[in-house]
Structure 1
Amino acid sequence: MTILENASMSTPDRGVDEVSQRLVESAARLSRNAMTEIDWSEPMDPAHYGCSPEWSTLYGTDYWNELTVEQQVTLTRHEFASIMNVGIWFEMILQELVLRDQYLGRYHEPEFQFALTEIADECRHSIMFAKASSKMVGTSYHPPRRIGRLGKIFQHTARGAVSYAGILVAEEILDVFQRGCMRDERVLPFIRTINEIHVLEESRHMKFAREQVRESMAGMSPLKRRFCALYTSLGALYIVSNLVQPQVYANAGLDVDRALAERRTNKHFHAMVRSNCTHLMEFLDDVGLLTRAARRNYRRVHMI
């Protein structure tokens, strides 16, 4: 065996590092800064929505049709503030997962360097979301305390494929909402800019996570694969079902019970989520993470 062949056998899989190198270079060229790019003091046009009306959880329902345009605008602003705030919650979880995974990593390799680039991006994104929420509605939204505790459990127990599959699913879910709104001129301009920044930078994070998942799934036993699939789907279930908190409807001046009832049966919103999660479901199926048990959880939140 030659020295070169021996070195090749002792070197970890190069797929992740090759992708990571490209992503490090992309981040250096294309990263954006919302703190300098957005004029945070600019007044908000009262006619502009917080997200495209079609992405409201109540769009298409009788309740939505009864609302004035002003009420619809207010609702979408609170809805998107909740989505951004819950985004902050799971981005903080994701940062810990990545940092723990790289704790004693190969510091000289692109994988480690991009992992820290991702963490830095997530910190900036969370600040961006926090400032946007403050400007748009002046309040914060959090998942219920029980969900917060479950997030802590996930934070401390997720490893390998579960960790990066969870990262991928969480980022894809937020990406779905933002892609649907980032070029809609009915939406507040600074929110459109935030969506553009986040979609651009999260596309790198999702590429990194996909490579990590593929590498982690290689040679995995059927039992462990089924466990990873189920655990990942549970994470998705809790994230999607908590994106828009019930307090949103109260703060928008709506009847909370009626709003929740109409949201549960809103076929338009369910179809929007399902059609925009097709790519994610195809990837999970391709790597073996779309088992029968996992499918049940994704169906519960209309991702499939």
Structure 2
Amino acid sequence: MTSMTEDHTLQDALGLLKDREQVARRLLESSAKHSFDPDTELDWGAPIEDGKWFWPPELVSLYDTPLWRKMPEEQRMDLARHEAASLASLGIWFEIILMQLLVRHIYDLPVTSAHVRYALTEIADECRHSMMFARMIQKGGAPTYPVARLHHNLARVLKTISTTPGSFACTLLGEEILDYMQRLTFPDERIQPLVRGVTRIHVVEEARHVRYAREELRRQMASCPRWEAELTRISAGEAARVFSIAFVNPKVYSDVGLDRREAVAQVKASAHRREVMQTGARRLTDFLDDIGLMRGVGRKLWRSSGLLA
């Protein structure tokens, strides 16, 4: 039996819901006007520019640590290049997961609905993004950085057992923090033109994906049974914990000549890095709190991830 407070919260949430088909139609209209083919939109043949970064230095994990202050500028820029490749590798892994979750979501829905058509449009976007990220890694000359085998297999479990609201919560987790960083990257004239182009495309198209996921997650949390809401709180919190660990592959440090253990320890102790990650997550955590996802064990997991202040 629900309490009066919970009843009022449910009614408030239902009152905020927008028509699912109307939202999807607007997103389809936006997709028709503002979608990009990275193969033709970006100049892949242009040479890499000397003296330009692959990632803003303030967003590099070691920025403003004692180790960073000892590193020569060339090594700092090399670390930024490898971290850009690591984040692009993470993005590909995440988008492959997202595509599978979206296919699961629409499997039982009416195939002629605008909601399903937009999901298929988003899957097409994510296919292009994954190929774009892979091509950017190759152009930058750094290796790919797959996530740890444990996290790879945890995601395999997630894709199998995730609730529908859990799928959309995890979607937002992967999209919104990277989106925050990319919004700082594409206007930054210190950054390689190709990287700026890649992040600009991703920001424009991901804005639609975030809108779709937020609207659907709000709808799901307003109507799902209590057990599903609680499972979603826990799974989203655990996903946040894993995501924060996997965000930068620690192999990047040894690949640029640093002591991996020392680098990882300094990143964990860095107040600047903690502020960057929490600022990147704040818009998301405020939204999740608003719809009732940041409670109990789930909130504790978010705190342990370092993404929640």
TM-score range, shorter chain: over 0.9
Partner of 2:74: 70
Q: In the alignment, residue 55 of structure 1 is paired with which amino acid?
A: L
Q: Is residue 179 from structure 1 mapped to residue 183 from structure 2 by the alignment?
A: yes
Q: Is residue 57 from structure 1 mapped to residue 61 from structure 2 by the alignment?
A: yes
Partner of 2:133: 129
Distance in 2 separating the partners of 1:261 and 1:225: 35
1:290 to 275, 281, 294: 294
Q: Is residue 167 from structure 1 mapped to residue 171 from structure 2 by the alignment?
A: yes
- Checking the alignment, whether the CA contact within 8 Å between 1:56 and 1:76 is kept in structure 2 is yes
Shift of 1:158: 0.9
Partner of 2:277: 273
Structure 1 gap ranges (5+): 1-12
1:211 to 215, 236, 240: 215
Partner of 1:47: 51
172-181 or 106-115, which moves further after superposition?
172-181
Partner of 1:240: 244
SS at match of 1:139: coil
- Checking the alignment, whether the CA contact within 8 Å between 2:86 and 2:145 is kept in structure 1 is yes
Q: In the alignment, residue 230 of structure 1 is paired with which amino acid?
A: I
Partner of 1:151: 155
- Checking the alignment, whether the CA contact within 8 Å between 1:246 and 1:260 is kept in structure 2 is yes
Structure 2 gap ranges (5+): 1-16
Q: In the alignment, residue 75 of structure 1 is paired with which amino acid?
A: L
1:252 to 245, 248, 256: 256
- Checking the alignment, whether the CA contact within 8 Å between 1:271 and 1:302 is kept in structure 2 is no
Distance in 2 separating the partners of 1:117 and 1:301: 32
- Checking the alignment, whether the CA contact within 8 Å between 2:100 and 2:159 is kept in structure 1 is yes
Cα RMSD of the aligned pairs, angstroms, is: 1.4
Give the TM-score of the pair, scaled to structure 1.
Answer: 0.92
Paired positions, count: 292
Cα deviation per residue 1:45-75 (whole Å; 9 max; x = unaligned)?
Answer: 2311111100010001011011111111100
Distance in 2 separating the partners of 1:124 and 1:206: 17
Q: In the alignment, residue 226 of structure 1 is paired with which amino acid?
A: E
- Checking the alignment, whether the CA contact within 8 Å between 1:162 and 1:228 is kept in structure 2 is yes
Taking a change above 3 Å as real, the CA distance of residues 297 and 46 of structure 1, as seen in their structure-2 partners, is farther
Partner of 1:6: none
Shift of 1:14: 6.7
Q: In the alignment, residue 286 of structure 2 is paired with which amino acid?
A: E
Distance in 2 separating the partners of 1:82 and 1:112: 32
SS at match of 2:292: coil
Give the TM-score of the pair, scaled to structure 2.
Answer: 0.91
Cα deviation per residue 1:199-257 (whole Å; 9 max; x = unaligned)?
Answer: 11011001000111111112334443222111011112212211210111111221111
Q: In the alignment, residue 96 of structure 1 is paired with which amino acid?
A: Q
Partner of 1:3: none
Q: In the alignment, residue 117 of structure 2 is paired with which amino acid?
A: Q
Distance in 1 separating the partners of 2:293 and 2:287: 8
269-278 or 115-124, which moves further after superposition?
269-278
SS at match of 1:218: helix
Identical pairs, percent: 35
Distance in 2 separating the partners of 1:223 and 1:108: 31
SS at match of 2:223: coil
Which aligned segments of 4 or more residues in structure 1 are displaced greater than 6 angstroms?
Answer: none
Distance in 2 separating the partners of 1:50 and 1:301: 26
Distance in 2 separating the partners of 1:154 and 1:19: 27
- Checking the alignment, whether the CA contact within 8 Å between 1:59 and 1:268 is kept in structure 2 is yes
Partner of 1:227: 231
